[in-house]
């Protein structure tokens, strides 16, 4: 799938590259069609990455030697109204 | 020293004391201790000319002080944050609040505040060393999806950082390492947290660290003015952003960081972009891509139309006529020139024949030999002509064959491109069972059900034929799954 293993930044850079190539006059139709399809897939992927993921908020306790404990933090969500 | 303190009063063990009694008791214990003390002025609050509250401090402790009326007015200096003060006063407890303090009777300045001096010394040392130079600053990630935060979980700063990151860029994950941000152990915990987050970053893909703390006095911010913390920030592999204190507060940690924000909120704003900006950027890319693609198809369509009007497609024979005529002309002129050459040769042979026949009358043996050579010559010329003739035929086949081949290829790519154009035609979708709905009398397709009302007439176009319909009901359900994204964020091409 397009965009797999790419960072978000890399996806944006590739999209810009595709767009600039598409904007070129001398592009062959076949190549253009491939790029256009890749671009649309990348747009979908990047949107998915933005819209689907809701980041975690965790406090990391403990130590590397004795084990790290992850504890979910609520504020920013539940306590948002209080601020 | 201890013997000079007032003797300890015996408390009645059975009695229950009131709060004010306890405070008064403690006050009585302290009263009468008059001392000179030297320290740096901090947490200064002045109430006109009648009183002043401040603290005196050294590296280890803070002493709350109060100065009243005449003592304040007769001070030989202006009380200021950070100055070193030598003060004489009496100890006591403000009974109402149970606050221990020194009631200052007189004071004089005792040189520059030690902490400020220490700050300047450390600043000069580290900047000479190049620890603050721009060249060694690491670039911040533009769109981080994983952020490490070092702050006290109990402080307001951490809340500012997290809520602002959440608000601006919800996909980012935040990993907090809670530390003490002042007092004993703070330096060690901050240094350890920087190392900790660096070491676990491969697991959490942490892209940037935020060190945050709310505002405070120079004493409160002391941990961030230490060499240990500055060096730990510089030895982090992950870039570090500081958001410590309020706008004017600069700490050594700020100078060492890769970016210094003036507040915890500012740090969050610096670290993550607004998700709406990113989405806008994606929309711009999308429309640029689509219009470039549409232009490409339009250009191709125009090119094909122009080509299809070309004579070679309307009258392909005409296209071949000119070259084949040239070819035929060339062929015949070559042939003619060979024939001319041949007949000249024949004439010359005849001429020599006559001459030879003349000689022959005088010598009878010669004609036989000459006749033989003559026949051989004619044979050679014939053979030569035949060879050339064959070459010509072969060449002609090759040229016409090439032309045909080219025409075939051209036709093929024309069909291929044309086919693609047809498949991209939106009307083609109709053949797969889609329909287009127009409000009655309109040429613009309907995209939003709320644009019509119950009872309206609409025209429906199908692949074959169409219908005139009446709206029975309008359903206002949105197909979007993310209401916070702009309407035009994504459409299928």
- Asked whether residue A41 is assigned to any structural domain, the reply reads yes
Residue B471 confidence (pLDDT) above 70: yes
Residue B405 confidence (pLDDT) above 70: yes
- Asked whether residue B293 is assigned to any structural domain, the reply reads no
Question: Average pLDDT over chain B, rounded to whole?
Answer: 82
**Chain A nearest-CA residue for B277:** A50
* Domain of residue B12, CATH code: 2.40.50.140
Question: Which residues of chain A are within 8 Å of residue B278 when distances are taken between CB atoms?
Answer: 50
A42-62 average pLDDT score: 85
- Asked whether residue B418 is assigned to any structural domain, the reply reads yes
Q: Which of B171, B288, B300 has its CB closest to that of A50? A: B171
Question: Which residues of chain A are within 8 Å of residue B163 when distances are taken between CB atoms?
Answer: 75-76, 80, 83
Under 8 Å CB pairs connecting chains A and B tally to: 120
Question: For B134, which DSSP code?
Answer: G
pLDDT in the model for residue B47: 78
Strands (E), B26-82: 34-47, 51-57, 62-68
Interface contact flag, A55 B485, Cβ < 8 Å: no
pLDDT in the model for residue B413: 73
Q: Which of B153, B162, B292 has its CB closest to that of A22? A: B292
pLDDT in the model for residue B367: 61
Distance of CA B419 to the CA centre of its chain: 39
Interface contact flag, B196 A63, Cβ < 8 Å: yes
- Domain boundary residue, one of B112, B137, B154: B112
Number of domains in chain B: 4
Residue B21 to residue B24: CA distance in whole angstroms: 5
Question: Which residues of chain A are within 8 Å of residue B153 when distances are taken between CB atoms?
Answer: 59, 73
* Domain of residue B177, CATH code: 3.40.50.2300
- Asked whether residue A58 is assigned to any structural domain, the reply reads no
Residues B164 and B257 in one domain: yes
Residues B320 and B234 in one domain: no
- Asked whether residue A38 is assigned to any structural domain, the reply reads yes
Question: For B451, which DSSP code?
Answer: G
The per-residue pLDDT for range B214-261, each reduced to its tens digit, is: 988 777 888 999 999 999 999 999 999 999 987 777 899 999 999 999
Residue B483 confidence (pLDDT) above 60: no
**Chain B nearest-CA residue for A77:** B163
Residues B223 and B102 in one domain: no
- Asked whether residue A23 is assigned to any structural domain, the reply reads yes
Whats the size of chain B, residue-wise?
A: 493
Question: Which residues of chain B are within 8 Å of residue A75 when distances are taken between CB atoms?
Answer: 159, 162-163
Question: Which residues of chain B are within 8 Å of residue A32 when distances are taken between CB atoms?
Answer: 293, 296
The per-residue pLDDT for range B362-382, each reduced to its tens digit, is: 666 666 666 777 777 777 777
Interface contact flag, A76 B166, Cβ < 8 Å: yes
Residue B89 confidence (pLDDT) above 50: yes
Q: Which of A44, A60, A64 has its CB closest to that of B175? A: A60
Number of domains in chain A: 1
Residues B122 and B268 in one domain: yes
Report CA-CA distances (Å) from B251 to B216, B255, B397. 11, 7, 89
Q: Which domain does A30 fall in, by range? A: 8-51
Interface contact flag, A60 B173, Cβ < 8 Å: no
Question: Which residues of chain B are within 8 Å of residue A13 when distances are taken between CB atoms?
Answer: none
The pair of structure tokens assigned to A43 is 């747009």
Question: Which residues of chain A are within 8 Å of residue B481 when distances are taken between CB atoms?
Answer: 51
Report CA-CA distances (Å) from B75 to B34, B49, B447. 18, 11, 80
Bridge partners, residue B177, by sequence: B150
Interface contact flag, A29 B153, Cβ < 8 Å: no
Mind telling me how many Å the CA of B477 is from chain A's nearest CA?
20
Predicted confidence band at A29 (pLDDT cuts at 50, 70, 90)?
confident
Residues B158 and B66 in one domain: no
Residues B411 and B444 in one domain: no
- Asked whether residue A21 is assigned to any structural domain, the reply reads yes
- Asked whether residue B476 is assigned to any structural domain, the reply reads no
Q: Which domain does B70 fall in, by range? A: 2-112
The per-residue pLDDT for range B434-456, each reduced to its tens digit, is: 788 888 888 788 888 888 888 88
- Asked whether residue B78 is assigned to any structural domain, the reply reads yes
Residue B329 to residue B182: CA distance in whole angstroms: 103
What ipTM, to 2 d.p.? 0.82
- Asked whether residue B301 is assigned to any structural domain, the reply reads no
Interface contact flag, B143 A9, Cβ < 8 Å: yes
Interface contact flag, A22 B286, Cβ < 8 Å: no
β-pair type (B173-178, B457-461): unpaired
Interface contact flag, B296 A59, Cβ < 8 Å: no
Residue B269 to residue B292: CA distance in whole angstroms: 35
Residues B100 and B181 in one domain: no
Residues B328 and B413 in one domain: yes
């Amino acid at each position: 799938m397009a965009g797999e293993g790419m960072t978000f930044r890399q996806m944006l850079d590739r999209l810009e590259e595709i767009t600039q190539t598409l904007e070129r006059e001398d592009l062959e139709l076949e190549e253009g069609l491939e790029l256009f399809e890749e671009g649309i897939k990348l747009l979908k992927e990047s949107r998915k990455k933005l819209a689907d993921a809701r980041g975690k908020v965790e406090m990391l306790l403990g130590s590397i030697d004795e084990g790290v404990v992850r504890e979910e933090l609520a504020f920013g969500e539940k306590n948002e109204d209080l601020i | 020293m201890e013997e000079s303190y007032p003797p300890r009063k015996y408390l009645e063990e059975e009695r229950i004391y009131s709060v004010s009694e306890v405070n008064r008791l403690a006050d009585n214990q302290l009263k009468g201790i008059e001392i000179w003390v030297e320290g740096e002025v901090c947490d200064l609050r002045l109430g006109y000319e009648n009183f002043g509250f401040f603290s005196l401090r050294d590296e280890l402790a803070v002493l709350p002080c109060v100065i009243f009326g005449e003592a304040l007015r007769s001070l030989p200096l202006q009380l200021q944050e950070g100055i070193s003060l030598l003060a004489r006063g009496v100890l006591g407890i403000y009974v109402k609040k149970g606050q221990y303090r020194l009631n200052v009777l007189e004071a004089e300045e005792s040189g520059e505040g030690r902490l400020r001096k220490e700050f300047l010394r450390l600043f000069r040392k580290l900047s000479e060393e190049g620890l603050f130079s721009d060249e060694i600053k690491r670039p911040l990630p533009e769109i981080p999806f994983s952020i490490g935060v070092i702050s006290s979980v109990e402080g307001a700063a951490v809340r500012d950082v997290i809520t602002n990151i959440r608000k601006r860029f919800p996909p980012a994950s935040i990993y907090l390492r809670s530390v003490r941000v002042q007092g004993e152990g703070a330096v060690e915990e901050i240094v350890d947290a920087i190392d900790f987050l660096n070491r676990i970053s491969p697991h959490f893909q942490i892209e940037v660290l935020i060190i945050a703390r709310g505002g405070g006095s120079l004493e409160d911010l002391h941990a961030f003015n230490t060499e240990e913390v500055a060096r730990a920030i510089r030895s982090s592999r992950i870039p570090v952003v500081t958001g410590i204190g309020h706008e004017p507060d600069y700490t050594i940690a700020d100078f060492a960081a890769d970016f210094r924000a003036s507040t915890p909120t500012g740090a969050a704003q610096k670290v993550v972009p607004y998700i709406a900006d990113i989405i806008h950027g994606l929309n711009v890319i999308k429309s640029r891509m689509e219009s470039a693609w549409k232009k490409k198809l339009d250009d191709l369509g125009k090119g094909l139309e122009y080509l299809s009007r070309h004579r070679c497609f309307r009258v392909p024979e005409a296209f071949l006529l000119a070259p084949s005529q040239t070819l035929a002309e060339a062929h015949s002129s070559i042939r003619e020139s060979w024939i001319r050459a041949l007949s000249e040769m024949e004439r010359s042979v005849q001429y020599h024949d006559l001459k030879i026949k003349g000689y022959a009358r005088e010598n009878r043996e010669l004609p036989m030999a000459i006749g033989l050579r003559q026949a051989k010559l004619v044979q050679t010329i014939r053979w030569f002509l035949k060879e050339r003739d064959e070459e010509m035929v072969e060449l002609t086949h090759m040229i016409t064959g090439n032309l045909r081949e080219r025409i075939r290829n051209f036709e093929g790519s024309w069909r291929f491109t044309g086919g693609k154009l047809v498949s991209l035609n939106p009307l083609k979708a109709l053949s797969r069972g889609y329909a287009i709905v127009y409000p009655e009398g309109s040429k613009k397709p309907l995209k939003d059900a709320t644009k019509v009302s119950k009872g309206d007439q609409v025209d429906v176009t199908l692949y074959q034929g169409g219908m005139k319909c009446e709206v029975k009901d309008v359903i206002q359900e949105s197909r979007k799954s993310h209401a916070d994204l702009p309407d035009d964020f994504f459409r299928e091409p």
